[in-house]
Amino acid sequence: MTKLHKAYIGGQWLTGNRGSFEVDDPATGESVAKVADVSLDQVEQAIDAANQAFESWRRLSAQERADGVLAWYDKVRENRQRLAEMITRESGKPIAEALSEVDYGASYLRWFAEQGVRAGGQTLPTLPGGRRPLTLKQPVGVVGVITPWNFPLAMIARKAAPALAAGCTLVIKPAAETPLTALLLAELAEQAGLPAGVINLIPGTDAAAIGKCLCTHSKVRKLSFTGSTAVGRVLMAQSAQKIQRLSLELGGNAPFLVFDDANLEAAVEGLIASKFRNSGQTCVCANRILVQRGIYDSFIARLKTRMASLTLGPGALPGADLGPLISDRAIARVESLVEQALEAGAVQTLGAGRVGEGSRYHSPTLLESVTPENPIWSQEIFGPVVSVTPFDSEEDGITLANHTEAGLASYLFSDSLSRAIRVAESLDYGMVGINEGIISSATAPFGGIKSSGLGREGGQEGMDEYLETKYLCLGGIG
Ligand code: ADP
């Protein structure tokens, strides 16, 4: 077993006490590697290593930690192509998207390295009796990280960068579908000179037991999770025992509103970018397309033409717009969602279902006449299926958009400034793209409200997730 297929614990590359598990290439279904499957003993070993490293990492100057994160950033940049090829191999996404994921993930490393050196407390006005209040910003402690397969690099970078810059140390469990990119990232951290134990990477298949350990272990102070709402709920309940801090980036159900006064070409391009990124497998993908009646027919006509021009193919093939879905289970789920939607009255006006028996390619599919009662309305589709609903007034559009428990991303297209502001203010979501389909950036707070989670990643808010504010009250000064 090569180093890059092992667990990385306390600066050592270790085989898994539970043996190994297979990682496959979604484009072919063939096995590409066998990776260490850690036991709970090894999870505890990783927590101990992180806890030990925390004592020295937290005491470094902010600039020294920032230099460490920047050295990691440099290694990621140097290995851009290699990382992107790894992302494509295990997640199936087109290589162009994998390259932009590397750039996007790296941008968090740089941004938080820069932010970490500015993360200070405050001196506050003198209190009665001459007492002086001041605040310190201190790292939360050891952080457990659990990430999904749809952005194998960026979901780790987005959490690790602020955590490390703040002075925290990490135990990271990547998704079992995509541990190879995570391992390469850990190796680059080692090459960058990050001390042993600061980052620990524990690939494993017993996700429920690992998750429980990261929620309940007394030496772990926080859990940062990106994944499904169902698992987020379990983690939150488990974390209640010791009131553990949580950041949760959970499922979305993004509305994409197109108003009569929208630039239709921009709206179609925005929708293609948002909906079909990673073949529709992101939590911010447009999920319910709401189109005002006045432009409904012309919007749909343009959309159909554009969807028909999308090419499917292995992610490694330059020029493929859509790769395979992540797993057999994922494509079976999308097929069943489409079936249920059609049974509930939706009309399929484009699409040919699964392409090739046993493959994981799903053709771009257009479903019209979807109503809020249709089961697909309340599901995160996670596939290249566009679900469309017409609406009449601005008010109707907002009501339909907010008709969900989720509250992550939302989008609206309108050339009226006043309408755009009015609607953006009325949308119950953590993020609103206005005439824009791709919104995430290291400088901006990414996150959801309602059942879509807790906390933000990116921006100053992303840094605060890994810091405690301590209040000092100085008396006897005179
Ligand atoms: P998805 O359906 O996108 O795979 P999940 O929420 O199931 O979303 O997975 C996201 C991450 O959560 C993965 O790393 C997965 O291994 C992990 N996971 C799955 N079930 C649990 C659980 N019960 N406790 C902790 N982590 C879990």
pLDDT in tens, 384-409: 999 999 999 999 999 999 999 999 99
Tell me, what's the pLDDT at 478?
82
Q: How many percent of the chain have pLDDT more than 70?
A: 100
pLDDT digits (tens, 9 = 90+) for 302-335: 999 999 999 999 999 989 999 999 999 999 999 9
Determine which helix (DSSP H) or strand (DSSP E) holds 212, and give its type and residue range: helix 207-216
Nearest ligand 1 atom to alpha carbon 176: 16
Type and span of the H or E element at 136:
strand 132-139
- Asked if residue 434 has its Cβ within 6 Å of ligand 1, the reply is no
| Integer Cα distance of 141 and 159 in angstroms | 14
Å from CA of 228 to ligand 1 middle = 7
Residue of 123, 78, 76, 121 whose CA lies nearest to 102? 76
207 lines ligand 1 (CB under 6 A): yes
Residue 13, token pair as written in the block: 């590359």
Ligand 1 atom nearest to 146, measured from its CA: 14
> How far, CA to CA in Å, does 130 sit from each of 122, 134, 140, 225, 477?
17, 13, 30, 44, 7
Over residues 124-160, the pLDDT tens digits come to 999 999 999 999 999 999 999 999 999 999 999 999 9
Locate the ligand 1 atom nearest the alpha carbon of residue 234 and give its number.
23
Pocket test for ligand 1, best of 228, 334, 452 (most atoms within 8 A of CB): 228
Examine the pLDDT at 1 and tell me if it is beyond 90. Answer: no
Closest residue by CA, ligand 1 atom 23:
208
Assess whether the C-beta atom of 208 lies below 6 angstroms from ligand 1: yes
Ligand 1 pocket, residue 234 CB under 6 Å: yes
The CB of 330 under 6 Å from ligand 1? The reply is: no
Residue 424 CA to chain centroid, in angstroms?
A: 23
The stretch 274-298 carries a mean pLDDT of: 98
Q: Which atom of ligand 1 is nearest to the CA of 174?
A: 14
Which tens digit of pLDDT belongs to each residue from 349-379? Answer: 999 999 988 999 999 999 999 999 999 999 9
Q: Which residues are CB-contacts of 309 (< 8 A; sequence separation ≥ 6)?
A: none
Q: Which two tokens stand for residue 262?
A: 């929208």
Identify the three-state secondary structure at position 198: coil
Instruction: State the distance from the centre of ligand 1 to the C-alpha of 231, rounded, in angstroms.
Output: 6
Question: For residue 214, which atom of ligand 1 is closest to its CA?
Answer: 25
Nearest CA to ligand 1 atom 17: 207
What pLDDT score does 24 carry? Answer: 97
d(CA 159, CA 126) in angstroms, rounded, equals 36
Whose alpha carbon is nearest atom 15 of ligand 1?
175
Q: Is the CB of 176 under 6 A from ligand 1?
A: yes
Residues marked active site are found at 249, 283
What ligand 1 atom has the least distance to the C-alpha of 231? 6
Q: Is the CB of 324 under 6 A from ligand 1?
A: no
Contact 217, 209 (CB under 8 A): no
- Is the separation of the CB atoms in 394 and 368 below 8 Å? no
- pLDDT per position as a tens digit, 426-477: 999 999 999 999 999 999 999 999 999 999 999 999 999 999 999 999 999 9
Probe target for ligand 1 pocket from 146, 171, 229, 248, with the most ligand atoms within 8 Å of CB: 146
- CB of 401 within 6 A of ligand 1: the answer is no
For 332, the enclosing helix (H) or strand (E) is helix 328-343
Give pLDDT tens digits for 67-112.
Answer: 999 999 999 999 999 999 999 999 999 999 999 999 999 999 999 9
User: What residue type is assigned to position 153 of the chain?
Assistant: L
Domains defined for the chain, CATH in brackets: 3-250+451-473 (3.40.605.10), 254-442 (3.40.309.10)
Distance (angstroms) between ligand 1 centre and the Cα of 179 equals 13
Q: Is the pLDDT of residue 15 over 90?
A: yes
Supply the DSSP symbol for 452: G
Number of residues in the chain = 478
* Rounded Cα–Cα distance for residues 300 and 96 (Å): 27
